[in-house]
């Protein structure tokens, strides 16, 4: 039995036990698992993608809030050809990284580019800068890279810059739009990039197993599942649980507001003790919430 089939069997057995015990978590589908679908017809957006696309249509300036920047500092001799090949392979491997979103009047569809489109990478040589200016230049370029707008209708929605600081030191900047990625995905992409770069720099073949499903397959499955009685049940659940929540966020007016919002927030560093962190994790676990949700609740209150 293949690894994928084994994982599907484990999930099916677990779901059946939860159903028998009457403890299926709310929002978990008991319908068939997603499967690969034809790309001949227009591909719908998932519900989270539809929300992000709508926000982009409503206010393009708000899009910067949904940029996901990451930076890798690469030490030692760089195999430039292997690096480009690894990034190109990741884009070819994941359809979502070569997807853009076209539509109007409240509806959009996913458009998927060919696998050979490659990774949009710009190379910059900073070796001419004096040492006392180098890190400031890197910080400035990283900030500008992260803030540069995306066009959801044309893409690409993932891009990067390779900064050469010295002969054996580089910084790889990668920015993605949240409509094609999330925080967990960044860690996965770093792992895959490391595996591919290591293999390609040694003249080896792609070591990663082929993907049986793509995000577009999940989007189709979600749209087919989330309708009719299922949609009404979900809506009723959240309407009940959110009853009484404020309909308007009241913000203080003792700060000047710019004519055009930049959506650029500030940061305040705060360190929690290990004991408090353990307590928060335990509280989150007891209530079936993430640590992020647990910290967000008192902050909102």
List, for residues 70-113, the tens digit of each pLDDT value. Answer: 999 999 999 999 999 999 999 999 999 999 999 877 789 999 99
Q: What are the residue boundaries of the structural domains of the chain, listed by start?
A: 67-98+115-208
pLDDT range class, residue 30, cuts 50, 70, 90: low
- The pair of three-digit structure tokens given for residue 222, joined into one six-digit string: 């979600």
Model pLDDT for residues 190-212, shown as the tens digit of each residue: 999 999 999 999 999 999 999 99
pLDDT > 70 fraction of the chain, expressed in percent and rounded: 89
Note the pLDDT of residue 114.
Answer: 95
- Residue partners of 121: CB distance under 8 A and separation at least 6: 84, 87, 159, 160, 161, 162
Report pLDDT for 287.
92
Residue 290's SS3 state is: coil
Q: How many Å apart are CA 176 and CA 69, to the nearest integer?
A: 6
Strands 67-75 and 99-104: unpaired
| Residue 4: per-residue pLDDT | 46
Which has more pLDDT, 98 or 258?
98
Task: Give the pLDDT of residue 265.
Answer: 72
Q: Which pLDDT does position 50 carry in this prediction? A: 94
Per-residue pLDDT at 158 exceeds 80: yes
pLDDT(3) > 50 = no
Calculate mean pLDDT across residues 283-301. 91
pLDDT at 19 over 60: no
Predicted confidence band of residue 268 (pLDDT cuts 50, 70, 90): confident
d(CA 171, CA 162): 6
Does domain 67-98+115-208 fall into CATH 3.30.559.10? yes
pLDDT for 5: 45
pLDDT of residue 107: 86
268 or 127, greater pLDDT: 127
pLDDT for 69 beyond 80 = yes
Who's near 103: CB < 8 A, 6+ residues apart? 53, 109
Can you tell me the mean pLDDT for 30-58? 88
Eight-class DSSP state of 78: -
Nearest partner of 219 among 32, 46, 34, judged by Cα: 46
Lowest mean pLDDT of 55-69, 141-155, 161-175, name the range. 55-69
Average pLDDT over residues 149-169: 95
Lowest mean pLDDT: which of 2-6, 141-145, 169-173, 274-278? 2-6
Least confident of 61-65, 167-171, 177-181, 262-266: 262-266
Contacts of residue 63, Cβ cutoff 8 Å, sequence gap at least 6 = 55, 56, 149, 150, 152, 177
Q: How far is the CA of 39 from the CAs of 35, 44, 47, in angstroms?
A: 12, 11, 19
| pLDDT exceeds cutoff 70 at 285 | yes
Q: Note the pLDDT of residue 13.
A: 54
For residues 87 and 119, the answer to whether their CB atoms sit within 8 Å is yes
For residues 173 and 141, give the distance between their C-alpha atoms in angstroms, rounded to a whole number. Answer: 9
| pLDDT confidence of residue 279 | 96
């Amino acid at each position: 039995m293949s690894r994928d089939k084994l994982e599907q069997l484990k999930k099916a057995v677990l779901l059946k036990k939860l159903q028998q015990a009457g403890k299926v978590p709310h929002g978990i589908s008991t319908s068939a698992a997603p499967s690969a679908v034809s790309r001949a017809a227009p591909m719908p957006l998932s519900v989270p993608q539809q929300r992000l696309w709508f926000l982009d249509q409503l206010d393009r300036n708000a899009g910067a809030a949904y940029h996901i920047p990451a930076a890798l500092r690469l030490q030692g001799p760089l195999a430039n050809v292997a690096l480009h090949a690894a990034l190109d392979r990741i884009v070819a491997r994941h359809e979502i990284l070569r997807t853009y979103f076209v539509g109007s009047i409240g509806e959009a569809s996913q458009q998927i580019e060919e696998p050979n489109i490659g990774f949009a990478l710009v190379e910059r040589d900073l070796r001419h800068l004096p040492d006392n200016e180098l890190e400031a230049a890197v910080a400035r370029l990283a900030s500008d890279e992260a803030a540069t707008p995306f066009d959801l209708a044309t893409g690409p929605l993932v891009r990067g810059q390779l900064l050469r600081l010295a002969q054996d030191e580089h910084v790889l900047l990668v920015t993605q739009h949240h409509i094609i990625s999330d925080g967990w995905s960044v860690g996965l992409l770093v792992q895959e990039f490391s595996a591919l770069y290591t293999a390609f720099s040694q003249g080896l073949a792609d070591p990663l197993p082929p993907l049986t499903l793509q995000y577009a397959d999940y989007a189709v499955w979600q749209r087919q599942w989330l309708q009719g009685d299922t949609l009404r049940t979900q809506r009723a659940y959240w309407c009940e649980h959110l009853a009484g929540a404020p309909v308007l966020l009241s913000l203080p007016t003792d700060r000047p507001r710019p004519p055009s919002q930049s959506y650029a927030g500030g940061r305040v560093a705060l360190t929690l003790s290990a004991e408090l962190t353990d307590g928060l994790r335990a509280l989150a676990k007891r209530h079936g919430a993430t640590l992020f949700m647990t910290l967000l609740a008192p902050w909102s209150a």
